Chains A and B, each alone.
Chain A
Amino acid sequence: MNTFFKYTIIASLLMTIFTITSCCTSNPEPEIQSGKLKLEFTHQIDGQEIIFDSMMYTNEAGNIYLVSEIQYFISDVTLHKNDGSTILLDGWEDIHYVDTDIAESGVYALADEIDLGEYNRLSFTFGINEEKNNTLMFVNPPESFMFWPELLGGGYHYLKLNGKWINELEQVSPYNFHLGIGQIYHSYPDSITGYIQNYFNIEMPESVIVISDKETTTLEIIMNVENWFKSPNIYDHNQWGGDIMQNQDAMQLGVENGWDVFSYKTK
C-alpha cells in the first residue's frame, strides 16, 4: 500500500468521524437534577368511588341524590416549601380540564421539571382566574363546551356537576350545580349591573411531597363530592332548585363550601 493510499484512508476515517458526530448526534447537555409531578383525579362520595347515575346518596340537607357527570377546570398548580417559597407549575397559561366522561382527562402530567426536594403543600385555583378566563380561549372541544355565556359574564364554567335528586314532591328532578362568574342584577333577570368572580383557591392540607431525581411523583387528587353541599353551608337542592348559574347566592354557597372538597394522597 503506497503512502498516498494510506493518507487517503486516514483522511477518510477522520472525516467519517467528523461527519457522523457533527451530523447525526448532538452534544451532550449538562445533566439537570429534577423530577416531575403528575396529578390523578378521582371522585368520591362518603369515601367511596362514585357509582354514577345511582340514586343512592344523601347529602347533609337530607336530599337523596345521584351524580351523572362532573366537569371542571383547575389552574395555577403550585407547590409550597416549608420556607415559604413556592413554584408555580407549567407557567401562567396552563389550565387543566377534568371530565368524568373522558378517562384520560383524569390525568394531569405537569410538563415542568421541578427542583428536587421536599414540599409540604399543594395549592391550585378551582376554576380560572379573572385575568385568564377569556371567551374563545378554548376553541376545541371538550373545553369549548364549558363556555359561560357572554351575558352572564363570559369565559368558562369552573364546574358542571350534573345529577338528579328526589324533590319535595317525590319527583326525580335534575340539578345542574354549575359554578362560574356570578351576576349582580338590578332587576332580575334582565338587568345586570356587575359581575362576581367566583374562582377560588384550594389550599390542600399539609403533607410531605417528595420530588426525586428523574422520577415522577404521582398524587391522587380526590374530589369529595358530598363536601360541596356540607360545610360551612348546608346546601339544599329543594331550596336552590335545578339551575344556579343566574343565582349568585347559591353559587356563593358552593364557593364557600369548596375549601375542603379536595383531598390528596401520594400514590
Chain B
Amino acid sequence: MVGMYFLIKQSRMKLYIIITVSFFAFLISGCEDKSVPTPYEPTPYEIEIPFGFPTNLNIPVDNPMTVEGIELGRYLFYDGRMSGRTHPDSLMSCATCHRQERSFEAGVDHPDFPGGFPHGLTGLQTPHVMLPMINIVWNSTGYGWNGFLYPDNPVEEMRNIEDFVRLSVLAEHEINGDTTTVKELFQTITGYPKLFEKAFGSNTITFTNIERAVAQFVRTLISSNSKFDKYMIGEVQLTQSELNGYVLFTTEEGADCFHCHGGFGNPLFTTHLYYNNGKDTEFTDPKDRFSITGDPMDHGAYKATTLRNIEVQGPYMHDGRFATLDEVIDFYSHDLQVSPYINPLMHHINDGGIQLTPTEREDLLNFIRTLRDDEFMTNKDFSAPDKFPDEE
C-alpha cells in the first residue's frame, strides 16, 4: 500500500509539474509573435533602386512582389489568350500593343497599328494613344493621360495597375472580353494552375490574381541605364552638342523642359503631373484632366510623360498628333497656342514658344537621345518567354 501511495504521489507531482510548465509555456507564447505557417512560400522580390531614383514605390500592400508572381505575370503579359479566346484571329495580350523594342509603347512603326494608333479586337481605336509603360512603379499620382486611376480614388477598383489590367480586358476598344471567360480559359491551360499556386497559393485561378501577376511584372519594367544615367554617375561624358542640349533642357532662358520633365535632380524625367501645354485653343476631349478633377484650369491638361526612351515612343501627345520628336520640338519652339488654361510654367507662351535656333534644336534633340536605354529594350527578363506553360 505504501508503494502504491508513493506511486500515486509521484504521478501527482508529475502532473503538477506538467501543468505548471504548460501554463508557463502558454504565458510566454502569449507574449511572443505567433508564427502562423503559410500555405505557400513565394520568394520576395525587391526592386533595386537606381541612382537618384525615388525610394517610395507604388506597390499595393495586398500585392507584394514575388519572383513567382512576376514570372507568371510575364507569361500572361505576352499570352494572346488574355482575350479569353483561342482562335488565332482573336488573340490579344498586353504585348500586342506594348512592344519592348518601343519601350513598351506601340511605336509609329507598329505592324498592325499604322502610325502607332492602337485599336482593339473590335476595330475601335483607343481614345488616346499609349503612355510609356516604364518606371511606373514610381507613379503615385495617377495612371492614364488624365490620371483616372489613382491611389486614393474613392472607387476602390479604380486605383492602380491591377485595375488597368481588368479595364483593358473589358474595354471595347481593347480586348472587349470578360473576366470570367479569361480566368476560366487559363484554368484549362496546362501549366498555368501550377504557376498560380506557386505565386498565390491556390491553383484555382481568379481574375484578381491575373491582375496582380501582370501588375507585378509591369512594375519590374525599369529603365535606368541610358547614356545620361552613366553620365550621372561619372562613367561617360556627353558630347558638346549633348551638353549644350542639357543646358537648354534645364534653364528657363533655354527650353525650360525640366520643370515638368525632370533632370539630374528628378531622374524619372517626369513629374507625373498634368499640364495644359498649349496644344489647342478649344477643348472638347471628354477625357482630359478636367474630366477627373472638375477644375476648370485642367481643361486640356494631360500627364507629362517621361522622356526616357522618348525617341522610340512615338506618336507623341495624348492624341498622337506628332509622329516625330522633330515635330514635337518645333511645336514647343514656335507653335504654342494661347488659351486661358495654359499652365503658368509655359512662360514663353506669348512668344509662341521657346524660339530655338536650328543649332539649339539639334542640341536639344541630341540631349534627349541620351535618355535612350537600349539595354532595357533588349533585356531578356522583359522579353516574350520562349515557351508558354503549356508548351513546356
Contacts and interface: CB of A to CB of B under 8 A. Distances in A.
Interface stretch (B48-56, B81-89, B172-180): B48-56
Interface of B: 12-13, 16, 20, 23-24, 27-28, 30-31, 52-56, 140-141, 246-247, 250-254, 256, 258-259, 262-266, 271-273, 296-297, 338, 340, 342-350
A190 B246 CA distance: 12
A238 interface: no
A139 interface: yes
Given A149-B250, A152-B251, A243-B256, A5 B345 contact: no
If over half of A's interface residues share one DSSP class (helix, strand or loop), that class is named, otherwise mixed; here it is mixed
A173 B52 contact: no
B349 A174 contact: yes
A37 to B, nearest CB: 27
B118 to A, nearest CB: 29
Contacts of B55: 139-140
A139 B53 contact: yes
Most buried by B among A140, A145, A176: A145
Contacts of B140: 141
A175 B253 CA distance: 13
Q: What are the nearest 10 A-B pairs in CB distance?
A: A147-B265, A242-B347, A149-B250, A23-B31, A243-B252, A174-B344, A162-B344, A174-B347, A140-B54, A8-B16
A136 B24 contact: no
Nearest to A22: B31
Given A139-B53, A141-B271, A150-B264, 6 more contacts: A152-B250, A167-B350, A174-B347, A178-B252, A244-B252, A245-B252
Nearest to B256: A243
A72 interface: no
A19 B239 CA distance: 70
Contacts of A231: none
A173 B24 CA distance: 77
A147 B265 CA distance: 5
A246 interface: yes
Contacts of A245: 251-252
Given A16-B27, A242-B347, A140 B20 contact: no
Contacts of B296: 53
Given A19-B27, A147-B265, A152-B251, A136 B52 contact: yes
A187 to B, nearest CB: 13
B347 A176 contact: yes
A178 B345 CA distance: 11
A163 interface: yes
A242 B343 CA distance: 12
A151 B342 contact: no
B247 A151 contact: yes
B47 to A, nearest CB: 14
A174 B297 CA distance: 14
A68 interface: yes
Nearest to B138: A141
Interface string A61-99: 000000011000000000000000000000000000000
Given A139-B52, A139-B54, A162 B265 contact: no
Interface in A208-265: 241-246
